[in-house]
């Protein structure tokens, strides 16, 4: 029966548990290989953490920019929806509606807008 490997689990070479049959040279070689494996694993883990930290930092900055955009647009519009993609290709959806009436108005406006867009697409294909 095979052991299940958990996600993000590091799997290395299978090493003998008992050293009783090993010569001192084999033991030194095993120790060196184990130390090399551990160092390689730790380096890979450090690089992964650095990449994750950079991605999280970029994501937080993008989120902060979007929040700023929300504030700027709110100075000019009572309620609005922003749909798009940020510069990294991540989906962006901002809905600014303070009341349920504002929300209902936005939903109706979006429905009408999408209907008009689809009608124009169908008519232009004829």
C-alpha 66/C-alpha 2 separation (Å) is: 48
Torsions phi, psi for 25 (to 5 deg):
-65, -45
Output the pLDDT for position 40. 81
pLDDT along the chain (126 residues), means of 10: 55 54 80 80 77 77 84 91 85 89 91 87 72
Per the structure, how many domains does the chain have? 1
What pLDDT does residue 7 have? 55
The reported pLDDT for the residue numbered 78 is 93
Q: Is residue 60 part of a domain?
A: yes
Query: HSE on the CB side for 80, CA within 13 Å?
Result: 13
Check residue 101 and give its pLDDT. 93
Is residue 12, in this structure, part of any structural domain at all?
no
In a domain, 1, yes or no: no
pLDDT of residue 13: 53
Q: Which domain holds residue 103?
A: 25-124
Q: Which candidate, 31, 1, 4, places its Cα nearest to that of 16?
A: 31
Residue 80 pairs with which residues in a beta bridge? 96
Gap between the Cα atoms of 39 and 86, Å rounded: 38
Give the model's pLDDT for residue 77.
Answer: 92
């Amino acid at each position: 029966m095979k052991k299940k490997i958990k996600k993000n689990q590091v799997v290395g070479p299978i090493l003998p548990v008992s050293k009783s049959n090993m010569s001192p040279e084999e033991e030194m070689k095993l120790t060196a290989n184990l130390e090399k494996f551990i160092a390689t694993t730790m380096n890979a883990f450090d690089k992964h953490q650095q990449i994750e930290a950079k991605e999280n930092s970029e994501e937080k900055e993008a989120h902060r920019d979007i929040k700023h955009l929300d504030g700027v647009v709110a100075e000019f519009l009572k309620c609005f929806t922003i749909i798009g993609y940020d510069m990294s290709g991540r989906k962006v959806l901002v809905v600014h509606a303070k009341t349920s009436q504002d929300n209902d108005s936005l939903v109706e406006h979006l429905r009408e807008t999408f209907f008009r867009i689809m009608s124009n697409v169908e008519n232009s294909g004829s």
